[in-house]
Amino acid sequence: MQQQISIITLGIQDLIGSKRFYVDGFGWKPVFENEEIVFYQMNGFMFGTWYGHKLEGDMQRQNQGPGPFSLAHNVSSKDAVETAMERLLSHGGSLLRPADAPIYGGFRGYVADPDGHAWEIAWNPAWSIDALGHVRFGL
């Protein structure tokens, strides 16, 4: 199989609050939306937010909690980490961990979206980010 991700869909409770976080917080633009789902075109895949009960019905599975996980949004500089976090916090996010320098290098902090999904906002000096937002391991 090809090594790729096509779509990531998060189950949400509040479409308006979720959209405020992703559109106003991250600055993303929806490519499709209706009264229960919003899709954003990302750099090589689609990202969706859909009412959790609808997603559970589609999967034919009740949420059983997959365990801890985080999504990440890498930025191009150390200073941009706190700037991005502040913007997300002002648009409905909640602080999980203030930005700091982990032992393995870089700079990162964690913010949760209105539904509690964890987002790591990170700068890694050993990873490059091209003009399209593609992150590459190594420089």
Q: What are the tens digits of pLDDT across the range 9-37?
A: 999 999 999 999 999 999 999 999 999 99
Residue 63 has a pLDDT of 77
- Mean pLDDT of the region 115-130: 94
| Rounded (5°) CA angle 50-51-53 | 130
Query: How is residue 3 written in tokens?
Result: 């090594």
Q: Which residue segments constitute the domains of the chain, with CATH numbers given?
A: 7-60+70-137 (3.10.180.10)
- Mean pLDDT of the region 88-109: 97
Q: What are the tens digits of pLDDT across the range 30-82?
A: 999 999 999 999 999 999 999 999 999 999 988 776 678 899 999 999 999 99
Determine contact, residues 117/138, Cβ cutoff 8 Å: no
Record the pTM: 0.92
Residue 6 has a pLDDT of 96
Residue 68 has a pLDDT of 82
Query: How is residue 29 written in tokens?
Result: 């633009």
Going 38 to 40 to 41 to 43, the CA torsion angle's sign is negative
Residue 45 has a pLDDT of 94
Question: How many whole angstroms from its chain centre is CA 12?
Answer: 13
Q: If residue 137 lies in a helix (H) or strand (E), which one and from where to where?
A: strand 135-137
Query: How is residue 56 written in tokens?
Result: 């559970």
Query: How is residue 37 written in tokens?
Result: 């789902």
In 1-126, beta strands by DSSP E: 7-12, 30-33, 37-41, 46-51, 71-74, 94-100, 107-112, 118-123
